[in-house]
Amino acid sequence: MTATVDPSTRRGIHRAWWVAGITLLGLISAAAFRSTTGVMLEPLEADFGWSRATTSGAVSLNLIVYGLTAPFAAALMERFGVRLVATLALALVSLAMTATLFMTTAWQLWLLWGFGVGIGTGALALVFGAVVANRWFVTRRGLVVGVFSAASSTGQLVFLPAVAHLTEGPGWRYAAALVGAFALVLVPLTWWLLRDRPADVGLAPYGADPAPYVAEETGDPTEGAAAFAVRVLRESMRSRVFWVLVITFWICGWSTNGLIGTHFVPAAHDHGMPATTSASLLALIGIFDIAGTVASGWLTDRMDSRYLLFAYYGLRGLSLLVVPWVLAATVHPSLFLFIVFYGLDWVATVPPTVALCRQHFGVERSAVVFGWVYAGHMVGAGVAASFAGWVRQEAGDYFAAWMTAGGLCLGAAALCLLIPRHPTVPVETETSAQM
């Protein structure tokens, strides 16, 4: 069969960069909801009379479903195509967010936030970006993954200040409508611009030899997506590297989305800081994370990923241990320094983690393996969101939550040094040897 060549790809910018652009917008849309939940917690509690445990529980369910969806979404993209899965996911996010405007009871919050938005954003998780980067790029792959990772911060940067002002002004429903509308706008754009593989438009991946180029096989086409995802999990579980990556990324999720992403605004409010100010600080973390994560992608192309992770987790742990002493009613130099320092490290762990998945498990399986690792990230985030909410409810402050997160990050730094420099026995070889 001869691939149809898009005339617009014959000259000018390589089509891979257009695909990367629409992927980035999809990741921003998914990040928008996850970064705005902290701003909406107190307004929802005031509007419906719900407890912090109830609202935090809904966020926890969202984060866990989001994470567990990721590996299956990666397998679905391999089976049915990135374009179809991403478009349907954006439509589901828009539908679920819009439906929250009409909810009246807590179970509806758990259903819409937990399952509706959780599944939709889970299909648009960083595994989406990993699939696109692996298929469309040979060179600049680490840098592209870094840019995709920064999309979550961009979601904070774009939406948090607007959501905070809408929540304190007209109300939280206007904020939810904003996120739903943005996802809806992206539905036709994604279907129009995104393509599954470079071969679909008669191209080789960016940086590959343009002719001849043969696309890599992605496994048995008769195997179901769920079966493929479970098989990859079963085979990867035999590897020590897999468990180290899962545990450290579980801690990564605990210390970012679960704690800071969900509870920073309420924790700052406990110290007398207005929600609009704390939301702006959270957005500022996003600004610095864009620089930090893109730089991490650049470093991942040039340095040992194990040592990068050791540095990232170690520095993050130290920064979290000082949070109780820097939060105050106003922004002072030490708090601003924490925002800058923590922001540069927010999700800088993603590019080296993706690189280690590719290095130890191969290109074909790396997206699904990373999907399972990312599931650990979001389960950790979900546990942390509930844990921190419980700590606040029982103790009246977040002190124990900050100390726990800091200690876990220091432990993750040490674990990263257990990863071998080079792959030992490839998963495929190991499996074949047992047959």
pLDDT in tens, 309-338: 999 999 999 999 999 999 988 888 889 899
Question: Who wins on pLDDT, 207 or 369?
Answer: 369
pLDDT digits (tens, 9 = 90+) for 30-44: 777 766 666 787 888
- pTM: predicted TM-score of the whole model, two decimal places: 0.72
- What are the tens digits of pLDDT across the range 164-211? 788 877 888 888 888 888 889 989 989 988 888 888 887 888 877 665
Nearest to 291 by CA among 353, 356, 342: 342
* Residue 234, burial from CB neighbour count under 10 angstroms (0-12, 13-18, 19+): exposed
Q: Which residue has the tokens 């992605």?
A: 218
Tens digits of residue pLDDT in 266-277: 899 898 998 888
Give percent above pLDDT 90 in the chain: 24
- Res. 3 pLDDT band, cuts 50 70 90: very low
**SS3 at position 206:** strand
Cα gap 250→271, rounded to integer Å: 29
Rounded mean pLDDT of 62-73?
82
Q: pLDDT tens for residues 105-150?
A: 889 989 988 898 889 988 887 778 878 888 888 887 778 888 887 7
The Cα 70–Cα 74 span in angstroms is 6
How far is the C-alpha of 313 from the C-alpha of 408, rounded, in Å?
Answer: 9
How far is residue 435's CA from residue 426's CA, in Å, rounded to a whole number? Answer: 15
Options 2.60.40.10, 3.40.190.10, 1.20.1250.20, 1.10.238.10; CATH for 13-206+222-434 is 1.20.1250.20
Mean pLDDT in the chain? 83
- How confident is the model at residue 435, as a pLDDT? 37
Indicate whether 222 pLDDT > 60: no
CA distance 273 to 210: 56
The more confident residue out of 52 and 330 is 330
Measured distance CA(201)–CA(46) in Å, rounded: 52
